[in-house]
Each structure stands twice: as C-alpha cells, then as structure tokens.
Chain A
Amino acid sequence: MIRVLINNLLRFVVLLAMQVFLFKNMGYYNLVTPFPYIFFLLLLPIGISNFNLYIIAFLTGLSVDLFYDTLGVNAAAAVVLALTRIAFLKITLEAENHDKNTTPMLGEVSFRWFLPYILLTTFMHHLTLFMLATFTFRQFHYTLFSTIFSCIFTVLIMLVFSLLIYRRKKR
C-alpha cells in the first residue's frame, strides 16, 4: 500500500516536471503539442474510488494549468479523462479480475487492452483541452486536426515510458 502511494507520488512529480519543463517546449508550432502528464492519471491503481480519482485528476490538471497560465483548461480536460477512464474500466475490466492495487500498465495488463485504453482516454482529454483552449466551434477541422496529431504524439511518448518501466520491472 505504501509502495503504491510512493510510486504514484514519484510518477506525479516526475511527469509534472517533465511536462512543464520539457514537453511544454516541444511540439510543432501550436498545432501539435504533447501532454504526457496524463500518464500519471492513467496509471493510478484500478481500485481507486471515483471521488478520489476526480479530486486527483482535478488537482493534477490545475497544477499543470498554473504553469501554462490557462487556469481551468487542463483541469477540465483531466476531469473528462477521469470520466473516460471510469467508463472504460467499468465496461472492459469485469472480464479480467485484478487486484485493487494493480497499476494498469504493460506487464500487469495486456497490450491489447492497454492500447485502446490510452488511445481513448488521451483522445478525450486532448479534445476537451483544445476545444476549451480555442473556445469556438469555428474552424473545427483545425481543432480536430491538432487534437488527433497531438494525441498520436502523446500516446507515442507514453508508450515509450511504458516500455521503459516494463523492462525495469522484468529484470
């Protein structure tokens, strides 16, 4: 239990730092920008209660917002991500029985489950984020374009992270 807490705390700090110091400066103009900090929210234990998940998602989004000067935008996106995550787990995870403290990452869950999981949650998060940031339905194709490409970028980065963690666990 303590180990889970420490692991998650560590992930929070590392991912937030990487987000605001490294990934904030990456991307292709304003068109494609990665937000891999959501990996922290995706890797929270499976058995976490809905309320806790929402609180953590909200606060994580808020802390990113503080660095991005977009108060509320990332928080709202992270809350949407939390809802997507809850729905996805509810629908798919009944078949596979898991320990409550299980972290949903490669090694613990199959790649076939993991990929749609991060794809869907990332897409919903990015869609909310870019819609709120542009705050208009005009030129929706432009928003959708940057959502999709940012989504691909973020998922690729998160897959690299997963592979890094995966190897270390196997050893």
Chain B
Amino acid sequence: MKNIWILLTKYNEVFLFILFFGLSFALVITNNDFQRSSTFNSSNAIIGKIYKETSRITNYMKLDEANQELLAENSALRISLDRLVSQDTSYLQTVLDTLGSPQYSYISAKVTNNSIRQKNNYITIAKGSDHGIEKGMAVISPTGIVGIVLNVSPQYATIQSLLHSDTRVSASLQESKAFGSLIWGDNFDSKKAVLRDIPNHVEVRKGETVITSGYSLFPPGIQIGEVIETTEVGGESFKDISVALTTDFHNLQYVYVVVHNFLAEKQALEAITENND
C-alpha cells in the first residue's frame, strides 16, 4: 500500500493527467453528438473491417473469376433493363424507332491505370476500338459515373476522369429535377465534386441524391452522389452545391463504357436544328 502511494506521488503528473484527460474525454463523448456517433461507428467499423479482411483472404483465389461473371451478368442486365424502359416509353408515346432495340448498351472493362492525386486525372482501361469503344463515350462504374473516353487504341482506351478540371457532366437533383453542371471543383478531394448553376430558388435538401440528367453523354438517372451542403452566394442567382461522389475513385477496378446506340442520329438531328437558327 505504501509503495503504491509512493508511486502515485512520484508520478503524480501522469496519474492526474489520466484522471483529468479521462474526465474531459468522457465529457466529449457524452455531450457531443458527432463524437458519440462516430465512436460507436468506429468500433463497428473495426469489427466490420476484421470481417471484411478475413473474407477477403478466403475469397481471394476465386475473386477474379467471380468479378468477371458478375460483370458479364451486369452488362446483360443493364441492356435488358434499358430495353424494358425504352419499350415502355415508346409504347406510351408510340415512338416506333426505339421499340425493340435498347438505347444504351454497356461494355465492361478492367481498369489498368488510374490516378486521383493530379490536377487532371486520367484512367486507362484494357479495352479499345477492337471492342467497339469510341472517343467521347461515357464511362460509369457500378456505383456512379467515372468519366468520358478521351483516346482509343485497338486494345486500350484512356478516360478523362471526372476528377479533371475540364470535365463537365450535366446532372440533376432527384427531387426538384433542377439541373446544372457537375465539375470536380476543388481539385483536391477525390470524394467531392461541385454542382453549379442550380438557381437560387430551388430548395435543396441535405443528403438529396444527385443523378445524371441525360442531357449529356450519360444515360439519365445514374447516381452521382449526395448533397453535402449548399452555399448561397449573396447577390448571385445561382448556388454552388457540394456533392459527395458515390464512385470510389480510390479503388476503381471495373468500369462500364456506355454505348449510345442512336447517338449519330441524335447528333445529326441536333446539327440540323442548329443550322436552322
């Protein structure tokens, strides 16, 4: 007992530190919602991570095959889904052109090179013109959008990533349907982008889903991200919306290249319209 007392007094600064720091830390955890929720979450995250790691190791051998199968299946599913959707609209509006053949088809491809830390980022995929990929096609991933095909060789294609200062994608808010253009914006964080040109009168909810509008190369309704926050700039009629991207550029493995089956027709029509102006 005496020895313990001597120890306590000798290193009193350490024990007092533990006491007071523990007290402050308890205050932090119990009184601030954010820290409380993230404490519980991080303990869950640790357990989740352990499970994930173990299954990653056990499944590792079969992983590549499984991925290929899933991708092939996904491509087929997406094609049939589009057929259903376009049949539906064509039935209602009796646009006979689109009846039967889907508007979009998808080519799956493996990512062979990827960067996220540059100011202008590019991705290389292991499929090219031999597989039907052309310049200007949209590229999506299972979780969101990726970018636009920039150059094509017979076996490879390079993609101008969404994380590129020149990439602009027409995007709309799911609830209000207001559309603007999505750019990377801060050139810093691979998980965030900025949605521009949304008029100030549109009410934007935090957490609202942002999807592609279908006015650009991307098919409509593909998820891009969620609204994090909006900044209304005083005296301007548009607001900037910060968007958390759902695509994990950090860990991009496989992507789909979107083939727009009637693109030539659409462009020809639009060219005629523009010439008439």
Contact = CB atoms under 8 A, between A and B. Distances in A.
Interface of A: 50-51, 54, 57-58, 61-62, 70-73, 75-76, 79-80, 82-83, 86-87, 132, 135-136
A63 B19 CA distance: 19
Interface of B: 12-14, 16-17, 19-21, 23-29, 31-32, 34-35, 38-39, 42
Nearest to A139: B189
Contact of A79 (B12, B21, B39): B21
Contacts of B21: 76, 79-80
Contact of A58 (B24, B32, B39): B24
> What's the dominant secondary structure at chain A's contact region?
helix
Contact of B13 (A72, A76, A86, A136): A86
A83 B18 CA distance: 10
A79 B13 contact: no
Given A135-B34, A135-B38, A73 B28 contact: yes
Nearest to A83: B17
Most buried by A among B24, B35, B39: B24
B41 to A, nearest CB: 10
A79 B32 contact: no
A132 B25 CA distance: 9
Contacts of A75: 20, 23-24, 27
Nearest to B42: A136
Contacts of B31: 71-72
Given A135-B34, A135-B35, A136-B38, A72 B28 contact: yes
A82 B28 contact: no
A138 B66 CA distance: 31
B34 A79 contact: no
